Structure formats: structure tokens, C-alpha cells
Chain A
């Protein structure tokens, strides 16, 4: 087991290096850089361009030098000092901007994941046990709709309904008085009050998918001989169900963590823009639009690293649950 974990940890290093290179290429792709557009816009408005400040910035990030030099300067800053660079648009170090948003993104994704599990688990069991019942058809139908509806569309429809019929807006993660407030228990409680709407919106498609998987897996198990044997022995139906078939069918819950979490982080980007949540999505979008490349790059890098870690955790959990995987 330890050996397995060690091997997976070692494998992470080249992956993260490759991700950082790809990230860097992406943020370099748009023609020009922030400095040129800054100078252009300053010249347009007739502002004085401070040449010495420009030179310092240029030297610090190696702008104008070959691209690999720029990459190494950027990567070295992150490794040695935890310096992700400067957000040109906000005129602040990137680290000041991203951590709180990353943390909120993570909280949102994790709670969505829990929500997905709590909903999908009983419904999946019900659908499998009562296959082809009315309830099964209803859940299957709702599930397909949930899979086919883009999250942001659901967000828009919910916003419209709450605006039209309850006359309140559902955007944001905090009440106005808490947005700028420092962290406190009251703020956390306020967060909890707002969290459920994006949670439900983000969770629908994941829930639908998981219900399908749970149902299919459990159906496969339910027809196996050991279930028949247990039933023939007179084991109560409830015990019979929960003791083995459900446990075996649970595997997908763990094995899908790896790609559910990144999917949620990705999906939340768009929903956050619609609901104007203070997560990574809106800031990333804005940074990309205004070519604030260090900010955008740091977001993509951090989200990818989170994804890799998520995959790792799910692989370890799965190996722990299912010995067959460990020894492959």
C-alpha cells in the first residue's frame, strides 16, 4: 500500500511540471502582453508612462526575453518564494487575490460532492430494487433531464423564478453586510445560508450520473448467485441488500471522486459567473479577457493541481477499498 502511494506521488511530479508548462503556454498565446496593452491605454488617455517602473517590471518577469527564460523565472518564483507574480490589472500580488477564492471554490465543490452523494445514494438503491416501477421511471426521466441541462441554464431559470415569484436575487455567496467583513462564525453561517443554491445547481448533473451508475451496478449485483443464496437462507431483505450488494456497488462513488471534483471545479466556473459567486470562475474569466496573464495562469495552475490531488486521493481510497487495484 505504502509503495503504491509512493509510486503515485512520484508520478505526480512530472504531471505537475507538464501542467505548469501547458499553463504557461496558454497564458502566452494571446498576442502581446499586459505591459504593451497597459502602455497603449496609458498613452491613449495621455497619462505619463513611468519608464523606470516599466523596466523593473520587465526585468522581474523577463518580459521581452525568450519564452523559456520567462517560464523559468515564473516557475522559480513559485517554488522558491511562493510568488505567483503580479496581477497587472489589480496591481496586487496574485497570492493576495487567489487564496480566498480558491478556498471558497473548494468549499463549494466539496459540499456539492456531499450533496450529490447524499441524494444519489438512496435514489440509486431505490431505482435498482424497484426496477421499472413508477418511481424508477420518474427518477430516470429527471436524471436524463438533469444530464441534458447545462448548469448555467438551470442557474438562469432558478434566478428568474426567484426574481419573478419571490422577488429576491439569489446571486452571491454572502449577504451584503458580510461581503467585506472579516471571517467570523456569523459569516460562516451566512455562507451556509447561501451555499445551497449553487450547490443544488452544480449537483444536478452529477447526481443524475451517479444515480445511473449506482442503479446499473446494483442491478448487476442483485442477480448474482450469492444474493439468491442469502435470500434462500431466509436473510431479511434489508440486511441482505445492505450487507454485500450495496457495498460492492459503492465503488463508483469513490472511483468517481477523481473526475467529479475537477468536473465540479470546472462547472462552477460558469455557474459562478451567472450567479456572481466570489469563487475562481468570474475572476479567471476577467483575467483572461484582460490578458492579466499571471493571475489567469495561477488560477489554471492551481485548479489543475487541485485536480491532480483529487485524482490521487480517489485512487488511494479505491486501492484501500479494493485490493485488486493495489496489486495490478
Chain B
């Protein structure tokens, strides 16, 4: 991106020229980065959306109207309802949220059930309603949901229901937690490996560097999906969900660390020759202190940008693996697991709303990409 450079005094966009000029010389590095980042509108939007998604992931139990695994035989493949607000009754117009009920028609020839919205039945809906009890973060017992039917038995499927009559909206909200966190955990694992091996590779150079570079090249030469499929199939089927979850993150970061290691190595190689590193060495600092105190802070921002850019690929990979049935398995709910329901065209044709989790994937990946792009541009404010 070749945009106007903010550091040329006088042409910085938002602050008045005079003030900027003075501020520029006293601003800290992080301050400069924030100024630069703020000019990137798409990145700001991406950052906001990412924040919202992670907030959703944090408060799933409260936000989801029902339990994601609560099923109902009566409402299998029920289509999405619209949430109405204006209620025209005989006594005049009342404004309150409600949904209409369903009427089931059975097609005797095709032996299929079709749902029709039943305008005679109205189910009032309330915000902050008391519903199924849950434990927030497994600790705090609560009953309040953000939105839900006043009568707990009333059907409310704002995004439709799946094969077993489970609420897609609730399942999608619960899936947010798993899908978004698997990206974070996977990246954290890759980061540890990447910084460690990339740092060693770049700092010491020589034969260790060659060896680690060969390993990285080797790992990258294996086609990822077949490798993941093979490893995913190797996870024992009787493992508990939590262990499968960690197994999958380990599998995903097995390739993921190589990219980060390359970034770290490149940074180390270029910083090693810098004067301030030499100065620190002459000053008698230990190797560890040079790395942690002098080198890491100067490329931390780049690392943060690379991390942000590698989370989306983790999310996409988990989705793909789970979609094929080799990743996370039910009863764990992730976006990939949800999309598995939509694996063939017949179920998609009967219930197109099964594809909605896909939109969530696209939005999350887009938001993280924009955020990462902005961070990368802002990472080096002196450029």
C-alpha cells in the first residue's frame, strides 16, 4: 500500500499540522502505531468486529436463547422465524417483540413435512428473560438470557432448526466460542514453537539455521490437507471432546509454526547486525537479555501482526477438518461441526439455513484479515 506517509511533518491527516509536528517527536512508538492504525478505516472496522465476536465467544451462555443440545422432534428442520415488533390487535397497536408459531403440513406423496407460519399463534418474546438455567463460565449460576420466549416451551427458532430440531442460533453462538478459541490456542502453540525455533535459527545462524530451515521446508512440502486428514483420522475415536480439541490444535499448529518461525528468523537476521545490539553486547549484556530486552521489543509489533494474520487460517482449517468429520466431533459445537450437517446438497436444499454458520466463518475471517492488514501496516511506524 503506497499511501501518504504520516511521518512527513505537515501532511499527517487528522491532527492539525502544527500540533502533529510537535507530537511526532515526543510520541512513543506505540502511540505512533496507534495513529497510523487509526487511519486504516477497514482495519478499524475489522478490529471492532473481531472484538464483538470475541465478546460473543465470552458470553455465549447468556447470549444463546437455549441450550445448544436441546432437541425437539416436533420442530426438525423448522425454517427461521421473523422477530416481529409491532403487534396489531383489536385493542390497537402494541409494541413488543413476538414470533409466530408453526403449522405443520404433511405432504402425503413425498412423505415430507413442510412448515407454514401460523399467524393465529403468537408467542411473546422478551429481552433478559428467565430461561433454562446455566452456569456462566462454569461458575456463576444464572437463568437470564439476552432474548427468549416468555413461555420456555414456546418454539423460537430465529435462524431455523437443524436435523434434530436444535436451535441454529444457539448452536452458532456456542460454536463461536470453540471456533474462535481454537484459532487462539493454535496460534499460541505455533507462536511458542515459532519464536523458539525461529529465534534460535536467526540468532545463531550457521548449521543450526540450515537444519531448522530444512525442517521447515520439509514440513511445508507435505500437502497440508492430506497430512491433517491422516493425523485427524489417527486421533482415537474414544477420546473425550476436550482432548480431541487439543489434539486438533496440535495438528493445526504443526504446520502453523513454520510461517511464524520464518518471520521471527528474518527479523533476528536483520536485527543482529544493528548497532544497538552490538552496543548491548559490548556493554556486557547476556545473550538472553539481549534477546528479551533489546531484540524482542523491536519486532513485537510485527509478531502481533503475523499472529492476527494466522488466526484466520487456523479457523478455516478447523472448519474444513470438522466439516469432513475428522476434526472436532459432536457434542462439541463448532462452526465446522455445524457445517457438517450441510454436507450434501439434499440437506442444503431442504434447509438452506444450515449454511448460515458459513457466513459466520467468512465474517470472522474477513474481520481478522482486515485487522491483521492494518496492524501490519502500522507495525513499523518509522517506515
- Give residues in A with beta carbon < 8 Å to B: 15, 18-19, 22-23, 26-27, 29-31, 144-145, 147-150, 152-153, 156-157, 159-160, 163-164, 169, 171, 216, 219, 223, 259, 262-263, 265-267, 269-270, 273-274, 284-285, 288-289, 291, 296, 299-300, 303-304, 307-308, 311
Stretch in B58-66, B132-140, B220-228 touching the partner: B220-228
In the complex, the answer to whether B223 meets A307 with C-beta atoms within 8 Å is yes
In the complex, the answer to whether B233 meets A267 with C-beta atoms within 8 Å is no
Query: B252: CB under 8 A from chain A?
Result: no
Query: B78: CB under 8 A from chain A?
Result: no
Query: B231: CB under 8 A from chain A?
Result: yes
Query: B229: CB under 8 A from chain A?
Result: yes
In the complex, the answer to whether B234 meets A270 with C-beta atoms within 8 Å is no
Evaluate whether A18 and B218 lie within 8 angstroms (CB atoms) in the complex, with A153-B355, A274-B343 already known: yes
In the complex, the answer to whether A22 meets B355 with C-beta atoms within 8 Å is no
Question: CA–CA, A148 to B361, complex, Å?
Answer: 8
In the complex, the answer to whether A304 meets B222 with C-beta atoms within 8 Å is yes
Chain B min CB distance to A232 (Å): 21
In the complex, the answer to whether B221 meets A19 with C-beta atoms within 8 Å is yes
Taking A19-B222, A262-B224, A304-B226 as given, write out 12 further A-B residue pairs in contact, using a Cβ cutoff of 8 Å, ordered by the A residue number: A145-B366, A150-B319, A150-B323, A153-B355, A159-B348, A160-B355, A266-B225, A288-B233, A289-B233, A299-B226, A300-B227, A300-B230
Question: CA–CA, A291 to B370, complex, Å?
Answer: 41
11 pairs, A vs B, C-beta closer than 8 Å: A147-B365, A148-B366, A150-B320, A150-B361, A266-B224, A270-B225, A284-B229, A285-B324, A300-B223, A304-B223, A307-B222
In the complex, the answer to whether A164 meets B339 with C-beta atoms within 8 Å is no
Contact of B225 among A31, A219, A267, A308 (CB under 8 A): A267
In the complex, the answer to whether B218 meets A15 with C-beta atoms within 8 Å is yes
Chain B min CB distance to A164 (Å): 6
Question: CA–CA, A127 to B268, complex, Å?
Answer: 34
Chain A min CB distance to B12 (Å): 19
In the complex, the answer to whether B227 meets A26 with C-beta atoms within 8 Å is yes
Contact of B229 among A29, A152, A219, A288 (CB under 8 A): A288
Chain B min CB distance to A181 (Å): 25
Question: CA–CA, A31 to B239, complex, Å?
Answer: 13
Q: Mark B347-383, 1 if CB is under 8 A from A, else 0.
A: 0110010010010011001100110000000000000
Q: What is the chain A residue whose CB lies nearest that of B219? A: A22
Chain A min CB distance to B355 (Å): 6
- Give residues in B with beta carbon < 8 Å to A: 1-2, 217-218, 220-227, 229-234, 236, 312, 316, 319-320, 323-326, 339, 342-343, 345, 348-349, 352, 355, 358, 361-362, 365-366, 369-370
Q: What is the chain B residue whose CB lies nearest that of A266? A: B225
In the complex, the answer to whether A262 meets B223 with C-beta atoms within 8 Å is yes
In the complex, the answer to whether B361 meets A153 with C-beta atoms within 8 Å is yes
Chain B min CB distance to A62 (Å): 20
Evaluate whether A15 and B326 lie within 8 angstroms (CB atoms) in the complex, with A148-B312, A300-B226 already known: no
Question: CA–CA, A274 to B323, complex, Å?
Answer: 10
Interface centre among A219, A259, A266 (most CB of B within 10 A): A266
Q: What is the chain A residue whose CB lies nearest that of B225? A: A266
Question: CA–CA, A285 to B229, complex, Å?
Answer: 7
In the complex, the answer to whether A303 meets B223 with C-beta atoms within 8 Å is yes
Chain A min CB distance to B36 (Å): 18
Question: CA–CA, A169 to B339, complex, Å?
Answer: 20
B230 — which chain A residues lie within 8 A by C-beta?
23, 26-27, 29, 288, 296, 300
Question: CA–CA, A267 to B355, complex, Å?
Answer: 20
Question: CA–CA, A18 to B225, complex, Å?
Answer: 18
In the complex, the answer to whether A150 meets B316 with C-beta atoms within 8 Å is yes
A157 — which chain B residues lie within 8 A by C-beta?
355, 358
A284 — which chain B residues lie within 8 A by C-beta?
226, 229
Chain A min CB distance to B225 (Å): 4
Chain B min CB distance to A22 (Å): 7
In the complex, the answer to whether A304 meets B221 with C-beta atoms within 8 Å is yes
Q: What is the chain A residue whose CB lies nearest that of B217? A: A15
Question: CA–CA, A58 to B358, complex, Å?
Answer: 46
B324 — which chain A residues lie within 8 A by C-beta?
270, 273, 285
